[in-house]
Protein backbone atom coordinates (compact mmCIF):
# COMPACT_ATOMS: atom_id res chain seq x y z
CA UNK A 1 0.00 0.00 0.00
CA UNK A 2 2.85 2.36 0.81
CA UNK A 3 4.37 1.81 -2.64
CA UNK A 4 1.04 2.77 -4.25
CA UNK A 5 0.60 5.86 -2.06
CA UNK A 6 4.20 6.93 -2.75
CA UNK A 7 3.62 6.62 -6.51
CA UNK A 8 0.41 8.66 -6.28
CA UNK A 9 2.20 11.40 -4.36
CA UNK A 10 5.30 11.34 -6.60
CA UNK A 11 3.16 11.76 -9.75
CA UNK A 12 1.11 14.58 -8.23
CA UNK A 13 -2.06 12.60 -8.91
CA UNK A 14 -4.18 14.54 -6.48
CA UNK A 15 -4.37 17.63 -4.34
CA UNK A 16 -5.91 17.25 -0.91
CA UNK A 17 -8.69 19.81 -0.43
CA UNK A 18 -11.46 20.28 2.13
CA UNK A 19 -14.82 18.76 1.26
CA UNK A 20 -16.53 21.33 -1.01
CA UNK A 21 -19.93 20.24 0.34
CA UNK A 22 -21.83 20.75 -2.93
CA UNK A 23 -20.00 18.07 -4.94
CA UNK A 24 -20.47 14.32 -5.03
CA UNK A 25 -17.56 12.60 -3.31
CA UNK A 26 -16.53 9.34 -5.00
CA UNK A 27 -15.39 6.73 -2.51
CA UNK A 28 -12.16 4.78 -2.71
CA UNK A 29 -11.10 1.31 -1.70
CA UNK A 30 -8.02 -0.86 -1.71
CA UNK A 31 -7.79 -3.88 -4.01
CA UNK A 32 -5.25 -6.53 -3.05
CA UNK A 33 -3.72 -9.10 -5.37
CA UNK A 34 -1.02 -11.73 -5.09
CA UNK A 35 1.29 -11.88 -8.11
CA UNK A 36 2.73 -15.36 -8.61
CA UNK A 37 5.76 -16.68 -10.45
CA UNK A 38 5.35 -19.33 -13.15
CA UNK A 39 6.08 -22.04 -10.55
CA UNK A 40 3.23 -20.82 -8.34
CA UNK A 41 5.40 -19.21 -5.67
CA UNK A 42 4.52 -15.70 -4.51
CA UNK A 43 6.38 -13.01 -6.45
CA UNK A 44 4.89 -10.04 -4.59
CA UNK A 45 1.82 -8.65 -2.91
CA UNK A 46 0.16 -5.76 -4.76
CA UNK A 47 -2.21 -3.12 -3.52
CA UNK A 48 -4.10 -0.73 -5.76
CA UNK A 49 -6.29 2.20 -4.79
CA UNK A 50 -9.41 2.41 -6.94
CA UNK A 51 -12.35 4.80 -7.16
CA UNK A 52 -15.76 3.40 -6.31
CA UNK A 53 -17.51 4.52 -9.47
CA UNK A 54 -20.85 3.19 -8.31
CA UNK A 55 -21.17 6.21 -6.00
CA UNK A 56 -21.37 8.58 -8.97
CA UNK A 57 -24.57 10.38 -9.88
CA UNK A 58 -26.00 10.40 -13.42
CA UNK A 59 -25.81 13.89 -14.94
CA UNK A 60 -23.52 15.19 -12.18
CA UNK A 61 -20.25 13.26 -12.38
CA UNK A 62 -21.11 10.06 -14.23
CA UNK A 63 -18.38 10.36 -16.89
CA UNK A 64 -15.57 11.57 -14.65
CA UNK A 65 -14.08 8.24 -13.52
CA UNK A 66 -12.41 6.00 -16.04
CA UNK A 67 -9.80 3.31 -16.27
CA UNK A 68 -7.31 3.14 -19.09
CA UNK A 69 -7.20 -0.36 -20.52
CA UNK A 70 -5.67 -1.85 -23.60
CA UNK A 71 -8.04 -2.89 -26.36
CA UNK A 72 -8.02 -6.60 -27.25
CA UNK A 73 -7.81 -5.67 -30.93
CA UNK A 74 -4.56 -3.80 -30.26
CA UNK A 75 -3.06 -6.80 -28.49
CA UNK A 76 -4.03 -9.12 -31.36
CA UNK A 77 -2.57 -6.67 -33.89
CA UNK A 78 0.76 -6.47 -32.05
CA UNK A 79 0.93 -10.26 -31.69
CA UNK A 80 0.14 -10.70 -35.41
CA UNK A 81 2.82 -8.20 -36.42
CA UNK A 82 5.34 -9.89 -34.15
CA UNK A 83 4.54 -13.32 -35.60
CA UNK A 84 4.70 -12.10 -39.22
CA UNK A 85 7.99 -10.29 -38.67
CA UNK A 86 9.47 -12.94 -36.33
CA UNK A 87 9.95 -10.34 -33.62
CA UNK A 88 10.85 -11.40 -30.11
CA UNK A 89 8.26 -10.40 -27.50
CA UNK A 90 8.78 -9.69 -23.82
CA UNK A 91 6.22 -8.96 -21.16
CA UNK A 92 6.26 -5.50 -19.61
CA UNK A 93 4.42 -4.66 -16.42
CA UNK A 94 3.90 -0.90 -16.32
CA UNK A 95 3.06 0.36 -12.85
CA UNK A 96 0.58 3.16 -12.42
CA UNK A 97 -0.12 3.80 -16.09
CA UNK A 98 -3.35 5.53 -15.16
CA UNK A 99 -1.34 8.26 -13.46
CA UNK A 100 -0.25 9.63 -16.81
CA UNK A 101 -3.75 10.34 -18.09
CA UNK A 102 -5.22 13.82 -17.84
CA UNK A 103 -8.74 14.50 -16.55
CA UNK A 104 -10.48 17.59 -17.86
CA UNK A 105 -13.14 17.55 -15.16
CA UNK A 106 -12.91 18.06 -11.42
CA UNK A 107 -13.20 14.81 -9.50
CA UNK A 108 -13.55 14.62 -5.76
CA UNK A 109 -12.55 11.30 -4.22
CA UNK A 110 -12.54 10.33 -0.58
CA UNK A 111 -8.98 9.98 0.65
CA UNK A 112 -8.09 6.45 1.81
At 18-56, the pLDDT tens digits run 888 888 788 888 889 898 888 999 988 888 888 776 655
Handedness of CA 76, 78, 84, 88 (dihedral sign): negative
* Domain map (residue ranges) of the chain: 2-62
Supply the pTM of this predicted model: 0.52
pLDDT tens digits, residue range 64-103? 445 556 677 888 898 899 999 999 988 766 555 555 566 6
SS (H, E, C) the chain: CHHHHHHHHHCCCCCCCCCCCCCCCEEEEEEEEEEECCCCCEEEEEEEEEEEHHHCCCCCCCCCCCCCCCCHHHHHHHHHHHHHHCCCCCCCCCCCHHHHCCCCCCCCECCC
Amino acid sequence: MQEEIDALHMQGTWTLVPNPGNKNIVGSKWIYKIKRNSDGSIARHKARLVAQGFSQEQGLDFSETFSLVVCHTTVRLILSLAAMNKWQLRQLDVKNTFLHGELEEELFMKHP
